């Protein structure tokens, strides 16, 4: 039986074949999210790049084909409901959303995205 590709290989394969008009923005968001903490890991979960710390999921890209003009991040770590940020949308009991539409917006919100990630994973 062939070995299962590593998480890194799965993400690389996913990104290689991804056909999305905001692919450069998605790549930049991946860099930003991973920069929040060296312990974060990336994998494909729910058919999209997802970030976790020691197996505990934090944030996942929403369905890539949902809308071609935007990128959706779904923060689904239990602590997200305690995080206060103007970026976070929705009042769901277990998740918050962030929607981004351009590289300019990604760069503008990078610092706040890192702050949110760090608040979630802080003890």
The answer to whether residue 2 scores a pLDDT higher than 80 is no
Give the residue among 21, 104, 107 at the shortest CA–CA distance from 65.
Answer: 21
The answer to whether residue 78 scores a pLDDT higher than 90 is yes
Lowest mean pLDDT segment, chosen from 5-9, 25-29, 87-91: 5-9
- Name the token pair of 30: 């991946």
Give the residue among 43, 48, 55, 53 at the shortest CA–CA distance from 26.
Answer: 48
Q: Average pLDDT, stretch 1-10?
A: 71
* pLDDT given at position 6: 81
Residue 101 half-sphere exposure toward CB, CA atoms < 13 A? 2
Q: Which domains does the chain have, with CATH numbers?
A: 7-121 (3.90.1150.200)
Residue with tokens 């970026």: 87
pLDDT, averaged across the chain: 92
The answer to whether residue 5 scores a pLDDT higher than 80 is no
Provide the pLDDT confidence category of residue 108 given band limits of 50, 70 and 90: very high
- Name the token pair of 49: 């790049």
Lowest mean pLDDT segment, chosen from 33-37, 54-58, 62-66, 93-97: 62-66
4 vs 62: CA distance, rounded Å: 24
Q: What percent of the chain has pLDDT over 70?
A: 95
106 vs 16: CA distance, rounded Å: 21
98 vs 114: CA distance, rounded Å: 13
């Amino acid at each position: 039986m062939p070995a299962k590709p590593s998480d890194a290989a799965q993400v690389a394969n996913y990104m290689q074949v991804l056909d999305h008009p905001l692919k450069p923005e998605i790549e930049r968001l991946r860099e930003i999210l991973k920069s929040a903490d060296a312990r974060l890991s990336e994998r494909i979960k729910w058919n999209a790049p997802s970030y976790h710390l020691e197996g505990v999921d934090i944030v996942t890209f929403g369905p890539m084909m949902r809308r071609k003009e935007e990128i959706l991040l779904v923060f689904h770590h239990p602590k997200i409901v305690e995080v206060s940020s103007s970026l976070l949308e929705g009042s769901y009991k277990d998740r918050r959303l962030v929607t981004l539409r351009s590289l300019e917006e990604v760069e503008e919100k990078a610092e706040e995205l890192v702050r949110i990630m760090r608040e979630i994973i802080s003890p």
